Homo-oligomer: A and B are copies of this chain.
Amino acid sequence: MENRLERIKKHLHSQSYKLTPQREATVMVLLEHEEDHLSAEDVYLLVKDKAPEIGLATVYRTLELLAELKIVDKINFGDGVSRFDLRKEGAAHFHHHLVCIECGAVDEIEDDLLGDVEKIVERDYDFKIMDHRLTFHGICYRCKSKHETDQKDPTEAQNQV
């Protein structure tokens, strides 16, 4: 954690941005909530615990800056709100998401599912892929198991690829 903050600090400095306490607090919140998908407002409320004097506009500006530097990704799951998601360090690609239409949970998928698909797209559409967004909408395992009382689908064994 310390290390990542240090590296982000250097990243900022390398572009001659300053690491102000407000920015540091914002980054810390993101690091501590890596699994979540916080809106700007969410981040603001959490940052206020560490730095009560911070303004919402500063959080917006910081998040935009971090997005510019590719430290976070700005994603949108269809409600009108942008959410901010820390890029995993060293990850070759932006991870994917599973959005449950029943309970609203958002789970992350780290697997590199798109390698082959991207090759096809680059070739067939002559498109140089720089980034991607892949989100599945459906029913998460938690909600599925709640339904289990209804009827059971026997084809649910696990296979390997």
Contact = CB atoms under 8 A, between A and B. Distances in A.
Interface of A: 74, 76, 78, 80, 82, 98, 101, 107, 109, 111, 113-114, 116-118, 120-121, 123-141, 144, 156, 158-159, 161
Contacts of A133: 133-135, 137
Given A78-B76, A118-B136, A141 B127 contact: yes
Contact of A136 (B101, B109, B121, B123): B121
A131 B138 CA distance: 6
- The secondary-structure label for the interface of chain A is mixed
B101 A127 contact: no
Contact of A128 (B74, B107, B130, B139): B139
Contact of A127 (B129, B140, B158): B140
B127 A139 contact: yes
Nearest to A153: B128
A140 B126 CA distance: 7
5 contacts: A80-B80, A80-B82, A98-B121, A101-B130, A131-B138
